[in-house]
Each structure stands twice: as C-alpha cells, then as structure tokens.
Amino acid sequence: MIIEHPLLGPRDAAEFTYLGDARLIDRPDWQSETAAHDFFEYGYLRDNPAGWHQELWFHEAGDRSWLVITRNTVTHEISKVELARDVARSRGRSK
Amino acid sequence: MTQKNRIATGGQIDRSTTHSFTFDGKSYQGHPGDTLASALLANGVRLMGRSFKYHRPRGPLTAGSEEPNALVELRDGARQEPNTRATTTELYDGLFAKSQNRLGSLKFDLLSINDRLSNFLTAGFYYKTFMWPAAFWEKLYEPIIRHAAGLGSLSLKDDPDVYDKGFLHCDLLIIGGGPAGLAAALTAGRAGCDVILADEDFRMGGRLNSETFSLGDDSGADWAAGIIAELETLPNVRVMSRTTVIGAFDHGIYGAVERVSDHVHTPDAGKPRQILWRIYTKRTVLAAGATERPIAFENNDRPGIMLASALRTYANRFSVTADKRVAIFTNNDDGHRTAADLHAKGIKIAAVVDVRPDAPKTYDYEVLEGQVVDTRGRLGLSFVELKLANGSTRMLECGALGVSGGWNPNVNLTCHQRGRPVWNEAIAAFVPGEHLPAGMTVAGAAAGDMSTAGALRSGAQAAKLAIDLTGDIPDLPQAEDAPVNVKPFWYVEGCSRAWLDQQNDVTVKDVKLSHQEGFRSVEHLKRYTTLGMATDQGKTSNMGGLAIMAELAGKTIPEVGTTIFRPPYTPTAIGVFGGRHRGQDFHPKRLTPSHLWAEEQGAVFVEVGNWLRAQWFPRAGETTWRESVDREVLATRGSVGVCDVTTLGKVDVQGTDAAEFLNKIYCNGFAKLDVGKTRYGLMLREDGIAKDDGTAARLAEDHFVVTTTTANALPVYRHMEFVRQCLFPDMDVQLISTTEAWAQYAVAGPNSRKVLEKIVDQDISNEAFPFMACANITVCGGLRARLFRISFSGELAYEIAVPTAYGDALIRKIMEAGAEYDITPYGTEALGVMRIEKGHAAGNELNGTTTAQNLGMGRMVSKKKDSIGSILSEREGLNRDDDLRQIGIKPVDPAASVPAGAHLMSLTGPVDAAHDQGYVTSACYSPNLGHSIALGFLKNGSERMGERMRLVSPLTKVETEVEIVSAHFIDPEGGRLRA
C-alpha cells in the first residue's frame, strides 16, 4: 500500500506500524460517574466494518507522526490521510 | 545427426553454436535459443518425468510456464533446484538435469505399481484409506505416502547464490511482450512516458515467435525483434525479459521476479541469481496473452500428447517436431493451424480429428469428424483410437497428438485484488471482469481479443487510454484477424481415466466421484480432489474441471464460477523472497560503543532485541559459565563491577508540560519530583496490566530523561508518542529517542564511588549526590556527561552516560580508575542474578499478564490523577485478596535447584491445574547465599511468608520442597543503596 502522508507525500506502507481503530483517540473522562464502564468500552469494544474504517498508523520509520487513515478494509482504498494530532484537536482533545 | 527430430531449417535458434547438456546421465546437444524441453524433443526424448501419484510416464504438455508435467531437478550440488519446468528452462552449455519422482530409472519406475492401484488412490484417498488404526498414520502410512508421492528433492545444502530485491517506478507497466504488449509499449514509449515492459520469456514477442503469420511485410518474430530494438533505444523505456510479474498488489504495486542468472551455468561474479522487483506504477496494461486448454479423453497423458499450440511453438520457434507423424484433435479452428504449419514443414499429418461437422478442409491431409477415445503406447504415444461421427472406430498411428480445446485468457493478475472473471460465450472462456486492480487495463488475448490484429489494436488503444495520449497511436502493420470459431467440448463421453490435472493426477473420474460424494462448491472440489493445487495452479486443468462439474450439477459454467487466483502467477523460489536477509543478515545487528572493548575482554555475547550484549566475561581457568557469573557477582558485591547498560531505551522528554506528561504515562506521580532527582516509574497499559518500567530523571524543571527496558525501547516510545499526539495534543512536550546518542555504564559495589570520584569532575559524596540523585556533570576534565545514582543490583551504584563517541574511551577510563579495587566487568547473567537477589522485577515478571498489585506495587497507582491504565486497574477481578503476589522462593534443601517455570502446590494436596497456587518467573543460583533462589507469584503470597510448599515441574519431572520468603534476599532495608 502507499500512504499519502500529509507532510511527506506518498510513502510505502512498510514504513508504518498499525495500531487500530481511530476511536482510540476518544479516551473517556477519568472523572466521569461512568468512567469504569466508559473505559471498558474504550478498551475492549471495537467496530469491525467491512468497508470504510478510520484507523491509526504510526510513521515509525519516518517522521514519527501518528496518522488517521480512512481506509476501505475490503478494497484497501485510502480516501483520506490526516495528522492524528489535528483529528484529536478537532474532536476536542487538548491537554 | 543426433537431433533426429530437429527440422532442417528455420526457427529462432542459433544453429552455428552447439550446447552440450546432460539429462539423466546421458549427453545430448542443442542450440542457443532452445529450452531444455525443445532440446530433448529434438533429440527424440519425449519421456521427461513421472506423475505425482500414479507415477505415469509423462512428457511436456506445453511449451511454456503453464507446464504441469515436464518438471526436472535442474543443476547439481548445492545449486540443485527441484520442480523446474523444462519448458521454460533456457538451454546453456553444460546444463545438467535429472528426472524426479521415480524409484529406479525413469523408464522402469518401480512405483508405477501405483497406477495399478489407482482404484484405491482416487479423490480423498487420504481420508478414506488410511483411517485405521490411528497410530499407523504417523509411523507407517504417512512416511510411505510421502516417499511415493511428491515431486523433486532438495539438495539440503546452503544456496551459494545471492538473491536481490529492488524497487522500480514508472508511469506505465506493461505485462507481456506479445503483439498487444509491444503495441502498447510502442505507443507509450514514443509518447515519452516512463515505461516498463516485462515478459517472462527470454525472447520477447509472445505468440509472434510461435506463429507463421506475417505482420506487414515481416514475419511476426522479425517484427517483434524490430520493435524491441527500437524500444531499447528509448531512454524512457525499460525492457525486461526473463521477468515474470507474479502479483498485483494494492495501490499500483506489482511484484516481479527477474531471472538474472538462471540461463547461465554459474552466475557471473557479483551478479545475483534472481531479483525480486517491487514496481510502483501509475497505470498498467495487462497483455498476458492466453493459454490453450486440453480436452480430456481416456489415457490422454502419454508422452507425445501435447497442446496443439505447443506443437506449433516447437515447430515454428524451436524448429523441432515431437514426432515425424502427428495427429490433431480439436474443437476449434486454431487446432487446424498446427496441422497446416507442421504440414508445410514436411511433417506427416496422420489426420485432424475435429468434433465439429463443419471443420475447414484446406490441405490434402485427412480431416475427420469424430473424437479421440483412447490411446496406446507404454512410454510414449504410438496409436490413437478414434470414434468417428459415422459410428465407426479407427486406429491411427502417430507419435504425437496435438490437442486443442480452445484458449483461456490469462486473467490471473486481474483477480489478485479479488476481481472475478466473467464468462464470454463467443470464445467459450472467462475474460476479465469489471473490478480490475486500480489503474489496470487489459489488452489483447488476455482481454479475449484473440486475433493478432485485434491484439495490436487493443494494446495500442489501452496504452493511449492509460497515458491520456491526445495524438494518434503509431501505425500498426496488417495482420491476421481471424474470428474465434470454437464449439465448447471438454471431455469425451464415457471416459474415466482421462486426466484433467496432470501434475496432481486428477481425472474426470475423480471429479465425478467428488460430485457424487456431495462436494458442490468449486472451492470444495478443488480441495477434495486437489485439482489445480499443484505448482502450475491449474492453468491447463481448472476449466475442464469446472465444465464437468457444471454439467454434473446441471448448471452453466458461469453459475459454477471459478476459484480465486492468487499470487504468485508462477512458482517462485523462496530464496528470492528472502533476498539478502539470511543468516547473519536476517535482521540488523546493533553493537554498543564499547563492543570492541568487550570483545577484547573475551566476552560471550547474547542477542537482546537486535543488540549484542556481553553475557559474561570468562577468565582463564573457568570451565563453566556459572563460575564466571558467580565470580562477577561476588566481585561486584565485594568491591566494584561495571556493566554496559547502553541498550536500555532512553527517551528525552522536554517542555513546560513534561512533568504532567509523565504523570499520564506512569501510574505513579512525577509532578512533585525535585530537579536533580530520579524516580522509579511503572507504566501500565490502558487495561491496567503492567507494560514496562524504568526511571525518570529530572534534569531541569522542563527536562526529564526516561529509561525503558531494552526489549521495549521501541514500543514504549511509540506509546509515548501516541499519548502525546492522539490524547493530549496541546501539551507542551517534545519527545526524542536518545538510546543511540548516549553510552551508559552501571558502576556498582561498595567501592563504586571511589572509582567514579577519580573520573567525575564534581563532588559526588553521599551528601552532595545522595541516593536517587541525577545531574548533568563533566568527566575527565570537561567532557559533558550525565550521572544517575540508581541501582538495579542493590549495591551503592551509579549509572554514568557520555555521548556515544566517547563510550569506548569512558569504559577504558573506568577500568583504569577501578584497577586498584579489582574492578570487574559483568554481563547480563550477573546483572540478572543480582536483580533476583534484590527482588527487582524484570521482563519475566512484567510478562503481559501481571498488574501493579501482583508485583506488590499496588499502592503506587495514584488515584489522585489521571494516568493510562489507572481506571481499568481498579477492576474487581484485578484486585482480589487471593490474587497473585510477587514472592521469593528458596529450597528447603540448600543443594536443590529451583526450575524456572515450575508451579507451586500445597505440600499434601493433589498436583493438578485446579490446585495450582502460583509459579516461578525467575530463578538462579545465588553465590552470596550459597543456594538457589527464585522470584515468582503466589496466591495471596504476601501473607504466606515462611510457608512450606511443593514446587512442581511435571515437564522436567522435578519436585522440590521450598519455603516462601520475601523477594528481597539481599539487604532488605536498602542500607547499601544509601551508603
């Protein structure tokens, strides 16, 4: 596969390591009433779609960016590549 | 003349040069341009192998890479290569080959008895015949079957040749150098595109080399040679012959194997045998051509029976006829071409047998309407038995029979991204479907465009489309444009021992049997009968099997569908996938800055990650590793020792939020750590299980140095970047791995301070530099360095770091300074013994199943702050009172050893999994205590000090009575650390 890195252009997938569902960005609030339940879902429950999937890849043999890649799990087509940091900010994460 | 079947003139062989070669010990001659198969046929050798299961005599069926039968062991010694297709093996002087899968000689194979036993060896015979008794399977049945069935043998020697990997980029990849591929390459090449043209053959041109058609005023072969010559002058075109594109992968990436040295006796100095290319292309034109398919009839596998197109290739390209008297069996017009071409070369055509009533009759040989119903000839064809349309039967004498059942487009690569081919009624074959790999266009016979003119046209058009050419395509020569005229005909009524898959010995009878037994899906048929599962992947057999299956099920062929084509397109040597990554070069080797020094000390090294670390330093007179390790431990605890700890992961953490960041990644708190102090940190996974441990040293308000274990240096850094970028994107914190930037040494033992005082420029007295202190310092009068007063051994100890370039100099300086105290270098074994004596957890204890609670560090998990893993570490199931706790273990009999991995059971209860109470994680001999000790986990262990238990290792049949003790065997109060 070829990944269009937002900063570095097209890079071979061999330079990256895969983590999984980009929902891992949405780490729950530790002080919430339902924290135990929320963390359980966060840690263990994932969708496993046959189709479009947002997922986290790490450019380990490159610039060490975490990326959010929108990939079709059936065809391996990649429609979007974003810096995970930008995605995290857009989802309201800060400090 | 020894080449008795060589036709007097013509062909693309160089008759001015003669190559000698050996097959099964006998010497023959051929010419440059020959394949091993064509040269053997020229010498009158039709018998080239024995079949897989029944050991039936076999000759080549084809003249190309789809060959199922003519597999040989090529070359000898370490270069011997089994299952090499004689039909693609380029002849060279001195070539050495042997037939395979035989017991005795090829002509008198003792295992041909299997042919007589064929009733017991039908589809599924493995499952049916060798069921009972079960114990016989491994000892008796399987070895016998393994011996009898199979293909070539391995030399079992190291391959002396080199295989390479390479990367290529282009605008347009053209797969196949036949008429379609050449027209595409000409179009794109002249337009200035970056083009790669790859063809598996050693001679470009595809079928143009095998036919007698003219293209304009030239023969097909001459036209092809002219185009190749032009393409080779274009700087933007790379022409790659002997290069098979084996797979179509994601995003326009193709795998290709170039056989650089397979056509020479020994690879030239510095040249690899083969290269695995990874080709990145924007667009692809697949012009892979088509493969003729046979018709199944009784005993259709005798040497001399070939595809009609193969007979034509041997005659036109190699100037060879398989026999002087040839018959043809066909269901389409193309079969007649073979008869016409051979006839023109003066070869006797015994008859052309066509299943169609309206077969063309152009020449003065017999054309009969009918079918071939059986054949004769022990080691090669001598007669065919015909059943004619008028009901009569007839024996026809011939030494070769050309069979043509129509042509299958080579759609394989169109299916590698899960595309499915579709049925085309007009040519009675599958053609590429709609869903092609991204960027691919199919042209020529591969797309079902079977005439030469059609191939030229569609090749040029495909290239024009692929590169968005606005101008005209090049002028293409006049060429034959005959329509496909075929009547689907798969097998002769009533036949049973009629071979579909000749390599795996699958017959019509097997397919019928599998249908009878309820295997309805084409994927099941394949696995039950092994149809199409041989090294040729069913290129000549799958269609026949499908057609028969469809008929039996009362379905159409498209309803039955095909099996999935997967890479590689043709068999590929494992060596080329490995490339240069073998032996020592399998993975990178990392050496610490003082590796040379350690070698000088005679160190024995061990691989940790990719690092080579000194394991122990044997001295003269020491005969076992234990002697060395015991000495190193005693010397360190008695005076001073030094150990290279460079390989531990180091991460530099800087920024105004650095402390807050460490609070997130460690379960214990770091915000209040004073500058100039170091703290042990335990890192959890989000699920509450311990991930890694290490230390964090605060060198400044906004600057920490974090250490990780050697093995986890990479994953921990990755995790820290995840937390920084994905979870807390606005924290002001920067990370960089500095593992390779600093050489680091542990100096441990009561005299360690005295040694370091001679090197460090600053005051490091206990008052100025107490336990857990850290600082930027200088050594040897000004060299920048870092000093940490931390201890893994439990002794007064320091870790000192200098920039990598000075590592070697520093270790030599430390040894010099320590000489008066008998400073002793110690390796990872002594390091391990001392940390077990001290009760420090390491990788064996942080094993991916243990929590902070288990490790006895439950109270470290701060509940006042958010950290990774803190919430899920509070789960009820991870916090039971009777949960495992880290404990120490010592044997009641001081002479007994404690096996690692053994389990703890009560003294009197049963010994089984249900009564398991804990287990040993780390064990060693303690030279300080004079007996074995161990660390382990025991249910409710912290409350059970002094209890006697049985330590049981059923695997090694060891049972030892032990006492549960504190994990801190040495200096439990920690006085030495603070001395």
In angstroms, the separation between the Cα of residue B467 and the nearest Cα of chain A is 20
Residue B913 has pLDDT above 80, yes or no: yes
Closest-CA residue of chain A to B416 = A75
User: Taking Cα atoms as reference points, which of B470, B712, B716, B491 lies closest to residue B611?
Assistant: B712
pLDDT at B958: 87
User: Taking Cα atoms as reference points, which of B532, B536, B535 lies closest to residue B546?
Assistant: B532
User: Taking Cα atoms as reference points, which of B175, B446, B500, B452 lies closest to residue B334?
Assistant: B452
**A41 within some domain:** no
CB distance B71 to B94 below 8 Å = no
Q: Which domain holds residue A57?
A: 2-28+48-90
Residue with token string 């929108």: A70
pLDDT at B129: 60
Residue B111 has pLDDT above 80, yes or no: no
> Cβ of B875 under 8 Å from any chain A Cβ?
yes
Residue B125 has pLDDT above 90, yes or no: no
Interface probe for B, chosen from A7, A39, A44 (most Cβ of B below 10 Å), is A39
**A70 within some domain:** yes
Cα–Cα distances (Å) from B881 to B331, B719, B798, B860, in that order, read: 82, 31, 37, 17
The verdict on a CB contact (< 8 Å) between B438 and A77 is yes
Closest-CA residue of chain B to A73 = B250
State what percent of residues in chain B have pLDDT above 70: 97
Of A30, A43, A64, Cβ closest to residue B721: A64
pLDDT at B150: 63
Other beta carbons within 10 angstroms of residue B302's beta carbon come to 23
CB distance B396 to B351 below 8 Å = yes
Residues of A with CB under 8 A from a CB of B: 1-2, 13, 17, 19, 24-25, 27-28, 30-31, 35-36, 39-40, 42-44, 56, 58, 60, 64-66, 75-78, 83-85, 88-89, 93-95
Quick one: pLDDT band at residue B447, thresholds 50, 70, 90?
A: very high
Residue B114 has pLDDT above 80, yes or no: no
The mean pLDDT of B356-385, rounded to a whole number, is: 94
Cα–Cα dist B849/B190, whole Å? 64
pLDDT at B962: 97
Mean pLDDT of chain B: 94
- Beta-strand (E) ranges in B86-227? 95-99, 163-175, 195-198, 214-215, 218-219
Task: Report residue B615 CA to chain centroid gap.
Answer: 32
The mean pLDDT of B682-704, rounded to a whole number, is: 97
Residue B666 has pLDDT above 90, yes or no: yes
Cα–Cα dist B186/B183, whole Å? 5
List of residues 6+ apart from B755 with CB closer than 8 A = B640, B747, B814, B817, B818, B821, B823
Tokens of B535: 């090294």
Residue A36 burial (C-beta neighbours within 10 Å; 0-12, 13-18, 19+): middle
The mean pLDDT of A71-94, rounded to a whole number, is: 96
The verdict on a CB contact (< 8 Å) between A27 and B660 is no
CA angle (B830, B832, B833) in 5-degree steps:
65
Quick one: pLDDT band at residue B103, thresholds 50, 70, 90?
A: confident
Residue B11 burial (C-beta neighbours within 10 Å; 0-12, 13-18, 19+): buried
Instruction: Report the half-sphere exposure of B928 (CA within 13 A, side-chain side).
Output: 20
Cα–Cα distances (Å) from B650 to B350, B704, B742, B807, B860, in that order, read: 82, 10, 8, 16, 22
Residue with token string 């920067």: B734
State what percent of residues in chain B have pLDDT above 90: 87
The verdict on a CB contact (< 8 Å) between A30 and B252 is no
B219: left (phi over 0), alpha (psi -120 to 50) or beta: beta
Quick one: pLDDT band at residue B657, thresholds 50, 70, 90?
A: very high
Residue B511 has pLDDT above 80, yes or no: yes
Residue B920 has pLDDT above 60, yes or no: yes
The mean pLDDT of B556-576, rounded to a whole number, is: 92
The mean pLDDT of B415-432, rounded to a whole number, is: 94
Beta bridge partners of A3: A11
DSSP classification of residue A73 = T
**A12 within some domain:** yes
Quick one: pLDDT band at residue B130, thresholds 50, 70, 90?
A: low
**A23 within some domain:** yes
Q: Give the DSSP H/E element, type plus range, for residue B935.
A: strand B931-939
B875 contacts in A (CB within 8 Å)? 36
Domains within chain B, CATH numbers bracketed: 1-156 (3.10.20.440), 163-289+409-466 (3.50.50.60), 294-405 (3.50.50.60), 489-560 (1.10.10.1100), 649-738 (3.30.70.1400), 879-965 (2.40.30.110)
Cα–Cα dist A73/A78, whole Å? 9
Alpha helices in B481-578 (DSSP H): 508-516, 522-529, 542-553, 557-560, 574-578
Residue B1 has pLDDT above 60, yes or no: no
- Beta-strand (E) ranges in B436-505? 440-442, 499-501
State what percent of residues in chain A have pLDDT above 90: 100
Residue B144 has pLDDT above 80, yes or no: no
CB distance B914 to B939 below 8 Å = no
Task: Go through chain B and tell me how many residues it has.
Answer: 979
Q: B875-886: per-residue pLDDT in tens? A: 999 998 889 999
Tokens of A26: 């949405």
In chain B, the N- to C-terminal Cα span, in Å, equals 97
The mean pLDDT of B120-144, rounded to a whole number, is: 66
B25: left (phi over 0), alpha (psi -120 to 50) or beta: left
Residue with token string 């001598």: B382
CA angle (B356, B357, B363) in 5-degree steps:
90
pLDDT at B974: 93
| More reliable by pLDDT, B7 or B134 | B7
**A68 within some domain:** yes
Closest-CA residue of chain B to A16 = B718
The verdict on a CB contact (< 8 Å) between A66 and B726 is yes
> Cβ of B671 under 8 Å from any chain A Cβ?
no
Q: B282-308: per-residue pLDDT in tens? A: 999 999 999 999 999 999 999 999 999
Tokens of B724: 């920084």
DSSP codes of every residue in B584-648: GGSS--EE-TTHHHHHHTTPEEEEETTEEEEEE---TT--SHHHHHHHHHHHHHHT-EEEE-TTS
Cα–Cα dist B373/B454, whole Å? 35
Quick one: pLDDT band at residue B228, thresholds 50, 70, 90?
A: very high
User: Taking Cα atoms as reference points, which of A43, A88, A83 lies closest to residue A67?
Assistant: A83
For residue A46, give the amino acid letter. R
Interface probe for A, chosen from B250, B661, B722, B725 (most Cβ of A below 10 Å), is B725
CATH number at residue A77: 3.30.2270.10
User: Taking Cα atoms as reference points, which of B281, B196, B207 lies closest to residue B243?
Assistant: B196
Q: Give the DSSP H/E element, type plus range, for residue B325.
A: strand B325-330
Cα–Cα dist B377/B302, whole Å? 7
Instruction: Count the domains in chain A.
Output: 1
pLDDT at B107: 81
Of A44, A78, A85, Cβ closest to residue B729: A85
Q: Give the DSSP H/E element, type plus range, for residue B498.
A: none
The verdict on a CB contact (< 8 Å) between A30 and B729 is no
Cα–Cα dist B737/B89, whole Å? 52
Q: B238-283: per-residue pLDDT in tens? A: 999 999 999 999 999 999 999 999 999 999 999 999 999 999 999 9
Residue with token string 């990178």: B588
**A57 within some domain:** yes
Residue B659 burial (C-beta neighbours within 10 Å; 0-12, 13-18, 19+): buried
Crossing angle between the packed helical segments B179-190 and B452-466, to the nearest 10 degrees: 30
SS (H, E, C) B846-898: CCCCCECCCCCCHHHCCCCCCCCCCCHHHCHHHCCCCCEEEEEEEECCCCCCC
**A39 within some domain:** no
The mean pLDDT of B696-702, rounded to a whole number, is: 98
B251 contacts in A (CB within 8 Å)? 1-2, 76, 78
**A6 within some domain:** yes
Residue with token string 């059970």: B944
Burial B914-926 (b: 16+ CB within 10 A, else e): eeebbbbbbbbbb
Q: Give the DSSP H/E element, type plus range, for residue B945.
A: none
Residue B124 has pLDDT above 90, yes or no: no
The mean pLDDT of B93-111, rounded to a whole number, is: 85
Poorest-confidence range of B41-55, B142-156, B551-565? B142-156
Cα–Cα dist B91/B19, whole Å? 8
Interface probe for A, chosen from B165, B871, B873, B879 (most Cβ of A below 10 Å), is B871
A78 contacts in B (CB within 8 Å)? 251
Cα–Cα dist B174/B680, whole Å? 60
